[in-house]
């Protein structure tokens, strides 16, 4: 029989066996967020398109080429979220949380959508974990955000990452840098791609991020933003580096990091690897002090990062990092006959209320097939219920690894007796 349809290109199903790996990573992410005082925010999967045009920037690849945008039945322009920061900032503004105790600390784990060429490590539906902090201008906040990402990656056991660090200054010092870039790239107009030509006058920093080989080579010799930082931005950057030094977090200065979204100011950073080919950025973030004002709110400094879960998984698999073993069935209750099957159903239900993962036969199979199934699901113990066991009020519990057996009573104390048995064996 031919399938009616398949998953859309650039999406994937996360199946049992894989989902446990996701859960293991998510557990670390949430624990680290909680340790640093961050609280979960959940925002809609779609927003009004202008939110992303204003925040992400209408000269970015995300807005120009990659967003899933459509008209709803009210003729409003709606976009599936391409990233998590804009929605979190909109939520902060809409609910007036900037007027509450600062800093406000959010974390999110969310699906995002970008229409781009589907390839390994880059999907059209992907998942991000993000950290957002609102209210602090202090360089120590920048270092704290970076340290959270560093701690997560180390807890996951990922090796060989490089922290690349840069400052892209503030609007005041970027004005002179913008002029310098326009003068430099203006000398190479004939060699620039059409996208870069369209951005040259409006946002020349985007040219530093172009992936077209010709433009990339030209950008390598472009002026450095670090030569144009104002005194305040220089001082802020030095304090960030000093704080990272104090924590023992190694970094490499890369003055070509500008990040792909327009809302960034001052500190920007990426954790990169050379083990995923062109998709080498595992985590990226920085400061975006003007974002809240750009969205119509008051002056509230902000910073954060996002990391892609799919890339974390790919990298962990490439490095053969072991995931914790998922919880398996504690006790499989095999049954012979309808009466025993009914009893096994009731027993399994009661055992689960005691925190014991129990399973029973719900297909009406023979004993041999039931025991084969118990092996397949990794049951740690098994027990056979038949007429004899029911009449005697006791049954043999078998350790599926050692084969050792012990008789337990089929009464209200069964769960307690099973737990004691498990501890002994």
Could you report the per-residue pLDDT of 220-233, keeping only the tens digit for each? 888 999 999 999 99
Least confident of 10-14, 201-205, 392-396: 201-205
Please indicate, yes or no, whether residues 284 and 254 belong to a single structural domain of this protein: yes
Do residues 91 and 152 share a domain?
yes
The per-residue pLDDT for 149 is 97
Instruction: Show the domain range for 153.
Output: 19-170+230-318
Whether residues 309 and 337 fall in one domain: no
CB 114 within 8 A of CB 123: no
Average pLDDT over the chain reads 91
In a domain, 348, yes or no: yes
Q: How many CB atoms lie within 10 A of CB 23?
A: 12
Provide CB contacts within 8 A for 221, sequence distance 6+: 184
CATH of the domain at 340: 3.40.50.800
Looking at the chain, the whole-number percentage of residues with pLDDT higher than 70 is: 96
Q: How far apart are CA 207 and CA 193, in angstroms?
A: 10
pLDDT of residue 234: 96
pLDDT at 23 over 60: yes
Give pLDDT, residue 104: 97
Among 318, 344, 375, identify where a domain stops.
Answer: 318
pLDDT value, residue 132:
97
237 lies in some domain: yes
Domain count within the chain: 2
**The 3-state secondary structure of the chain, one letter per residue:** CCCCCCCCCCCCCCCCCCHHHHHHHHHHHHHHHHHCCCEECCCCCEEEHHHHHHHCCCCCHHHHHHCCEEECCCCCEEEECCCCHHHHHHHHHHCCHHHCCCCEEEEEEEEEECCCCCECCECCEEEEEEEEEECCCCHHHHHHHHHHHHHHHHHCCCCCCEEEEEECCCHHHHHHHHHHHHHHHHCCHHHCCHHHHHHCCCCHHHHHHCCCHHHHHHHCCCCCHHHCCCHHHHHHHHHHHHHHHHHCCCCEECCCCCCCCCCCEEEEEEEECCCCCCCCEEEEEEECCCHHHHCCCCCCCEEEEEEEHHHHHHHHHHCCCCCCCCCCCCEEEEECCHHHHHHHHHHHHHHHHCCCCEEECCCCCCHHHHHHHHHHCCCCEEEEECHHHHHHCEEEEEECCCCCEEEEECCCCHHHHHHHHHHHC
Kindly report, residue by residue over 42-79, the tens digit of the pLDDT.
999 999 999 988 877 766 667 777 899 999 999 999 99
User: CA 253 to CA 164: how far, in whole Å?
Assistant: 6
Verify that 294 and 336 share a domain, yes or no: no
Does residue 371 lie within any of the structural domains? yes
pLDDT, residue 372, reads 96
pLDDT tens for residues 350-374? 999 999 999 999 999 999 999 999 9
Specify whether 308 is located in the same domain as 344: no
Whether cis (ω within 30° of 0) applies to the bond prior to 103 is yes
pLDDT band at 421 (very low <50, low <70, confident <90, very high): confident
> What's residue 200's pLDDT?
85
Q: What CATH number should be reported for the domain holding residue 115? A: 3.30.930.10
Do 153 and 292 have their domain in common?
yes
Last residue of a domain, one of 266, 295, 318: 318
Q: Are residues 141 and 52 located together in one domain of the fold? A: yes
Q: Please give the pLDDT value at position 58.
A: 63
Give the mean pLDDT of 405-412.
Answer: 91
156 and 50 both lie in a single domain: yes
Same domain flag for 143 and 270: yes
- pLDDT tens profile 249-306: 999 999 988 765 667 889 999 999 988 876 789 999 999 998 999 899 999 999 999 9
For residues 377 and 270, membership in a common domain is answered with: no
The answer to the question of residue 415 being in a domain is yes
Q: Are residues 280 and 360 in the same domain?
A: no
Look-up: residue for tokens 């924590």? 247
Q: Which of 287, 318, 349 is the last residue of a domain?
A: 318
> Is position 368 within any domain?
yes
Give the confidence band of 210 by pLDDT, cuts at 50, 70, 90.
confident
Q: What is the mean pLDDT of residues 26-40?
A: 97
In a domain, 50, yes or no: yes
Answer yes or no: do 85 and 148 share one domain: yes
- Look at residue 1 in the predicted model and tell me its pLDDT: 63
Let me know if residue 419 belongs to a domain.
yes
12 lies in some domain: no
């Amino acid at each position: 029989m031919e399938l009616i349809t398949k998953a859309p290109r650039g999406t994937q199903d996360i199946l049992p066996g894989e989902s446990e790996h996701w859960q293991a990573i998510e557990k670390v992410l949430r624990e680290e967020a909680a340790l640093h005082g961050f609280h979960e925010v959940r925002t809609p999967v779609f927003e009004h398109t202008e939110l992303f045009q204003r925040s992400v920037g209408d000269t970015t690849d995300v807005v120009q080429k990659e967003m899933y945008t459509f008209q709803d039945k009210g003729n409003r322009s709606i976009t599936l979220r391409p990233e998590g920061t804009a929605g979190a900032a909109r939520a902060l503004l809409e609910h007036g949380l900037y007027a509450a105790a600062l800093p406000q600390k959010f974390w999110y784990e969310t699906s995002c959508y970008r229409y781009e060429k589907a390839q390994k490590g880059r999907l059209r539906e992907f998942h991000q974990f993000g950290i957002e902090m609102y209210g602090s201008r202090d360089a120590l906040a920048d270092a704290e955000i970076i340290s959270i990402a560093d701690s997560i990656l180390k807890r996951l056991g990922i090796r060989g990452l490089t922290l690349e660090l840069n400052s892209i200054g503030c609007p005041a010092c970027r004005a002179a840098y913008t002029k310098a870039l326009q003068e430099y790239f203006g000398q190479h107009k004939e060699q620039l791609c059409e996208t870069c030509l369209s951005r040259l006058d409006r946002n020349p920093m985007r040219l530093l991020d172009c992936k077209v080989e010709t433009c990339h080579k030209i950008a390598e010799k472009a002026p450095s933003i670090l030569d144009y930082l104002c005194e305040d931005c220089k001082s802020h950057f030095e304090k960030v580096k000093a704080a990272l030094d104090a924590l023992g977090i190694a970094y490499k200065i890369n003055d070509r990091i500008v990040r792909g979204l327009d809302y960034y100011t001052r500190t920007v950073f990426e954790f990169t690897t050379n083990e995923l080919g062109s998709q080498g950025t595992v985590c990226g973030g920085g400061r975006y002090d003007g974002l809240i004002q750009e969205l119509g709110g008051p002056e509230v400094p902000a910073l954060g990062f996002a990391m892609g879960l799919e890339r974390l998984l790919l990298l962990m698999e490439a490095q053969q990092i072991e995931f914790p073993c998922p919880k398996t069935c504690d006790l499989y209750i095999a049954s012979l006959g309808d009466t025993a099957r009914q009893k096994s159903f009731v027993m399994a239900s009661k055992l689960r209320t005691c925190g014991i993962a129990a399973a029973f036969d719900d297909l009406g199979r023979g004993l041999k097939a039931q025991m084969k199934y118990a092996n397949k699901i990794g049951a740690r113990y098994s027990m056979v219920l038949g007429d004899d066991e029911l009449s005697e009020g006791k049954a043999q519990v078998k350790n599926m690894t050692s084969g050792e057996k012990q008789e337990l009573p089929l009464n209200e104390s069964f769960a307690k007796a099973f737990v004691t048995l498990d501890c002994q064996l």
